[in-house]
A and B are shown apart, each in its own frame.
Chain A
Amino acid sequence: MVTLGDYLVVSGLLFTIGFAGVMLRRNIIIIFMSLELMLNAANLSLVAFSRARLGPNGLPDYNAQVFVFFIITVAAAEVAVGLAIIVALYRARQTTHVEDISTLKF
Chain B
Amino acid sequence: MSYLQLLRLASPETVVVVTTLVVLAIGLRNRQSPGLNILVAVLGLAGACAAVFMLPRSAVLFAGMLVISPLTSLFKVICLLLAFFTLLMARNLSSRNHAEYVGMILLATIGLMLLVGSEELLMIFIGLELLGLSLYVLAAFEKHDIRAVEAGLKYFLFGSTASAFTLFGISILYGMSGTTALAAIAQKLAGMPIEPLLAAGVVMTLIGFAFKIAAAPFHLWAPDAYQAAPVTSAAFIASGSKVASFVVLGKIVLIGLAPLHGSAGWHAMAGGWMPLLAVLAALSIVIGNFVALVQTNVRRLLAYSAVAHAGYTLLGLVAGGREGFSATLFYTTIYALTLLGAFGVVGAVRREMGNDDIRDFCGLSRRAPLLAGCMAIFMLSLAGLPPLAGFFGKFYLFSAALRAGGNHGLLWLVALALFGSLISLYYYLIVLKVIFVDAKQETAAVAAPQLDLLQRATLLALAGAIVLFGIMPQTLVSRILAALA
- A residues engaging B (CB < 8 A)? 8, 11, 15, 18-19, 22, 28, 31, 35, 38-39, 41-42, 45-46, 48-49, 52-53, 61, 63-64, 66-67, 70-71, 74, 77-78, 81-82, 84-86, 88-89, 91-93, 101, 103-104, 106
Contact = CB atoms under 8 A, between A and B. Distances in A.
Given A70-B122, A81-B133, A82-B160, A92 B144 contact: yes
Contacts of B168: 15, 38, 41-42, 45
B143 A88 contact: yes
Interface centre among A11, A71, A101 (most CB of B within 10 A): A71
B175 interface: yes
A29 B84 CA distance: 36
B170 interface: yes
21 contacts: A8-B175, A8-B197, A11-B171, A28-B157, A35-B157, A49-B175, A49-B178, A52-B175, A67-B122, A67-B125, A70-B122, A70-B125, A71-B125, A81-B156, A82-B156, A84-B137, A86-B153, A88-B140, A89-B150, A104-B223, A104-B228
A63 B264 CA distance: 35
B175 A74 contact: no
Contacts of B175: 8, 45-46, 48-49, 52
A92 B149 CA distance: 9
Contacts of B146: 89, 92-93, 103
Contact of A104 (B151, B171, B180): B151
A70 B153 contact: no
A104 to B, nearest CB: 5
A31 to B, nearest CB: 7
Contacts of B224: 104
| Closest 8 pairs (CB-CB, A-B) | A38-B164, A49-B175, A88-B143, A42-B167, A45-B171, A92-B146, A104-B224, A42-B168
B158 to A, nearest CB: 10
Given A31-B157, A81-B137, A101-B150, 9 more contacts: A19-B161, A22-B161, A28-B157, A46-B171, A63-B180, A92-B146, A93-B146, A101-B153, A104-B228
A15 B140 CA distance: 28
Secondary structure type dominating chain B contacts: helix
Interface of B: 122, 125-126, 129, 133, 136-137, 140, 143-144, 146-147, 149-154, 156-157, 160-161, 164-165, 167-168, 170-172, 174-175, 178-180, 197, 223-224, 227-228
A21 to B, nearest CB: 10
Nearest to B175: A49
A88 B149 contact: yes
A35 B151 contact: no
Contacts of A39: 164, 167
Nearest to A40: B164
Contact of B160 (A11, A35, A89): A35
Contact of B136 (A70, A74, A81): A81
A81 B170 CA distance: 23
A95 to B, nearest CB: 11
A30 to B, nearest CB: 12
A106 B294 CA distance: 10
A74 B153 contact: no
A66 to B, nearest CB: 8
Given A42-B170, A77-B133, A92-B146, A85 B164 contact: no
Contacts of B154: 104
A74 B151 CA distance: 22
